[in-house]
A and B are shown apart, each in its own frame.
Chain A
């Protein structure tokens, strides 16, 4: 249904999340292991929602988050950290705690989807 960007540096997790999303019928953009790769995906593909692992290998995914915010693309953070460390501008961004169970993942997508619908009033998935 939706095109979801997955940003995660651990392959096993990225692969697993992608598989879960695909099984549910979504399209997966990526997964991208780094900010560079993610931004490239962002510029090449159209994306409805995104799941961002906060702590990538040696960088945070905040640059991607900022871009997504600019473009009004709803997204959620996936993290193993204490979410109080997130900068203030992401206060309204939902956060998923690792390890993420498949159903939590899908619920989050649905939640993000309602935002998409809400802002555009239509279902972009068509």
Chain B
């Protein structure tokens, strides 16, 4: 923390219409005003804010977006970023990002509240154009801590949206309300005022005695103005408030300020309000609320059952802190009760804007200083940076606009709590309001006043329960159903009118001797008299009024006219009225009065207004001067005659009077009845008001329901989007698949199908909803219906191969149960897959196996035959074995060559090489072109070559060392010609009969390959010529 001089930090709150206001404000500020500015607005969380760029155009000061932890410097403008809540701690800005769930609705209250707490007197709050009541509570907190509050006034350039500044103004927390362009000037003066006025509170300037005198003077002015004594106020706080007012008014000398106070009543009012600014808060005066909680609340609830109601009226509720405090006490008390009565707390105020704030029940943290941690936990929900009152307290309270002075009061209340209101009334109004509260309370109801308020003269209406805590109880109504003061003449209703009040005291400065002389004259020689007030109530009796006044039947009354004896009333009434309206003395001569013996007395009535003393109510002196005998003054001229006529006239007059009297009485009865009807109507009105309040509450509920519905709607929209996406995916999947699939529902009716299915089965969109039997006719699957039903019943899939259809295709039908999330079968899925390739492959496989079988068996048969022949031509086992094994080996080699070529073709060369491979190559000549033989030909040639080689080894050229074999082949057209020529072998002679070997050669070539064999047993050696067609 730097050790630089303190400077004011200005929190600017603005919303709709705030930008032109800020333009005016900033453009009228100097380049270095010596203050820091922090701008807090109602930003939409989605739109990126370019406010800092906009503001940079209006001022030369650097404009930046506030960052968490940044120190606030003077001559600098900071703008709140979007999606964040701003506070200030120890001169550093703190930013908290908002969660998606809570959007701070009163960011201005939050910031100004924290600014008030952090900077105290150096906090300045400016409320500019905007649409709600945000900022009012924050501004109040700034004022409480000694800071300055400005609001955009509505003369000159009106703010575009006046609600925000207006709400602050009407709650009385604004020090200066001016158009935005004038604010700069005021701010500069305020800054300059700090240094000059610090002397005052530090006591380093004028002497203490001088300060003391000045203070006394100010106390005096205040007391005269408001009746309120501030001498007990904390001196330092008092002086600070005075200093602030001086700062605002740009006054530097205390004496000059006192002069201002003397001549400018609004300034006295302003100072007065400032001094009382701590008046509202939660649980203000903890002791008083403790008393309320311990004594009053339990007594109020005692004996109340669940069908009873506890009714409370809080007039002058302002922003609602007091009301909710009472609500919280009630809730705490009801925790311990088995059966709770209904609660109705009527909270009224004439300030609609304050009511709006109260109804919202949303307070910045700083407002909750008077609330204990447990209560905070229980009764408040922390939403972002503000605290919202829970429903359990809020629902007890009903807010409505109401004027204590003008509107009919509520009635049948158990508690009236009025702790913020009477202070602002003059003593005269206070005295009128107390009876109104008495009317509102049921007998024994409680009246809870503020710490400096009292019930004044109305000790007859209230009994004091605890003087210190200002709790009173309503007495039973002693007069006949205490009437609402229906004024005969209007009294003055101004608040702190302060016109000609200059503090003249009421006490008369009398001398004792004079007093006793006057007393004697009054008592013994003055005519009987009474003093009545404007309502006609007697406030003073002299002695000996019995002749003229009589106690009326029924409950005691102080009404003069009720008590006046017959004959007097008419004239008295007339005289009083005249005196009240003309403010002059009025007299009526020779009024006849009846006494108990029906004797007539004549009396002069004189009604004289008493001189006004200060602000007291008007009083009238009523004098009864007896005029002696009942006769009129003797008239010398027409004495006797007139005596008789006048007696007659007097009789007539008396009769007339009597008639009039009874008319008056009837009229008065009618008036009485009218008054009670009126009172009943008042109660009805009050009930209608509370109904209205309940409707307001319903409306609020509907609004929050609406919010909920909006949220749900948003969620549903999201779900629908997801569903759309899933559907789209499904559709794409369907279309991309080639597999014909049909979905059947619980009733085995077509629900949906893939495009492949629609081609296969000729399905159209209109087939949805049609039963399955329409499908089965198109494919050869008569059991399909039965199978489907089985699948549905048992939940097991069934696969079925269809026979080859007309186009030669094979299909596999699968019936699969369609399961829902709970794995219950809800339908059947029918899929058809083209398995033709598979089926064909299977068939081919069968064919191959069959062929294999065939070949193998054939081969075995061949082997058997070879064995038989070998047996026939062998004479020993060894011979047999050699013959058999050799041939089998040859066959095997031939098969081997084939298999190497995958049963396609084998080259002649390879075959030969295989068979004569064992023979010494010097004895061989192998020549021939590239030629390839088919499988059957290869096998035969292989066998043939083997026979020839074996024969050569046994009998031919290979028997000696010189023998040679020439193998040569060639292709001639379609024929292969092969020559096997042996030379230099032992002498050859043709055998007697063909051995098996040669017959095998013939058989293979001629029989099998449709070829030709020539054997020539030449002398030089055996020559065998073979030829056969390559293709049949």
Contacts and interface: CB of A to CB of B under 8 A. Distances in A.
Interface stretch (B557-565, B580-588, B793-801, B850-858): B850-858
A15 B999 contact: yes
A52 to B, nearest CB: 14
A98 B857 CA distance: 6
A80 B862 contact: no
10 contacts: A10-B858, A12-B865, A12-B1000, A13-B862, A15-B999, A16-B864, A19-B872, A79-B857, A80-B853, A81-B853
Contacts of A16: 864-865, 868-869
Contact of A11 (B855, B857, B868, B1003): B1003
Contacts of B1007: 11, 14-15, 31, 33
Given A15-B869, A99-B861, 13 more contacts: A12-B866, A12-B1003, A13-B858, A13-B862, A19-B872, A31-B1007, A33-B1010, A79-B857, A80-B855, A81-B850, A85-B850, A99-B860, A99-B863
B857 A80 contact: yes
Nearest to B1002: A11
Interface in A80-94: 80-82, 85
A98 B1004 contact: no
Contacts, number: 72
Counting chain B CB atoms within 10 Å of each CB, which of A19, A81, A99 scores highest? A99
B861 A82 contact: no
Contacts of B872: 19
A55 interface: yes
A112 to B, nearest CB: 20
Contacts of B1032: 57-58
A100 interface: yes
Given A55-B854, A82-B853, A99-B857, A13 B865 contact: yes
A80 B857 CA distance: 5
B615 interface: no
Contacts of A81: 850, 853-854, 857
B853 A13 contact: no
Interface string B988-1001: 00000000000110
Interface string B854-891: 11111011111110110010000000000000000000
A80 B866 contact: no
Nearest to A99: B861
B683 interface: no
Contacts of B1004: 11
Interface of A: 9-16, 19-20, 31, 33, 55, 57-58, 79-82, 85, 97-102
A45 to B, nearest CB: 18
Nearest to B1005: A11
Contact of A99 (B864, B936, B1008): B864
Contact of B854 (A15, A33, A79, A102): A79
A8 to B, nearest CB: 9
Nearest to A32: B1007
Contact of A13 (B854, B856, B861): B861
A31 B865 CA distance: 15
B476 to A, nearest CB: 123
B1002 to A, nearest CB: 9
Contact of A9 (B856, B860, B1000, B1008): B1008
B858 A80 contact: yes
Given A80-B857, A98-B857, A12 B850 contact: no
Interface in B663-680: none
A102 to B, nearest CB: 8
Contacts of B1000: 11-12
B854 A80 contact: yes
Contacts of A55: 854
Contacts of A102: 868
Contacts of B864: 16, 99, 101
A46 B862 CA distance: 28
B850 A15 contact: no
Nearest to B867: A16
A102 B853 CA distance: 21
Contacts of B866: 12
A10 B855 contact: no
A98 B858 contact: yes
A75 to B, nearest CB: 18
Nearest to B860: A99
Nearest to B996: A15
B856 A80 contact: yes
B850 A100 contact: no
A102 B1004 CA distance: 22
Nearest to B865: A16
A85 B847 CA distance: 11
A15 B936 CA distance: 17
B440 to A, nearest CB: 114
A80 B861 contact: yes
Contacts of A58: 1032
A101 B855 CA distance: 17
Contacts of B855: 80
Contacts of A80: 853-858, 861
Given A12-B1000, A13-B865, A85-B850, A97 B1008 contact: no
B1008 A98 contact: no
B850 to A, nearest CB: 6
A58 B1010 CA distance: 14
Contacts of A14: 1003, 1007
Q: Which 7 A-B pairs have the closest CB atoms?
A: A80-B857, A16-B865, A11-B1003, A99-B861, A80-B854, A98-B861, A11-B1007
A51 B857 CA distance: 17
A111 to B, nearest CB: 20
A80 B858 CA distance: 6
Contact of A57 (B862, B869, B936, B1003): B936
A80 B856 CA distance: 8
B232 to A, nearest CB: 127
Nearest to A97: B857
A99 B858 CA distance: 7
B861 A10 contact: yes
Nearest to A57: B936
Nearest to B1003: A11
Interface in B763-811: none
A14 to B, nearest CB: 7
B947 to A, nearest CB: 12
Contact of A33 (B860, B861, B1008): B1008
Contacts of A79: 854, 857
A33 B1003 CA distance: 11
A82 B850 contact: yes
B592 to A, nearest CB: 153
Contacts of B936: 57
A114 to B, nearest CB: 26
Contact of B1003 (A15, A97, A99): A15
Contacts of A9: 1008
A105 to B, nearest CB: 11
B1003 A100 contact: no
Nearest to B854: A80
Nearest to B1010: A33
B860 A10 contact: no
Counting chain B CB atoms within 10 Å of each CB, which of A15, A55, A97 scores highest? A15
A12 B887 CA distance: 12
Contact of B860 (A11, A20, A57, A98): A98
A11 to B, nearest CB: 4
Nearest to B866: A12
Contacts of B1010: 33
A2 B1007 CA distance: 23
A31 B1006 CA distance: 12
Contacts of B854: 55, 79-81
Nearest to B855: A80
B49 to A, nearest CB: 89
Given A80-B861, A100-B861, A10 B1008 contact: yes
A125 B858 CA distance: 32
A14 B758 CA distance: 59
Nearest to A15: B1003
A16 B869 CA distance: 7
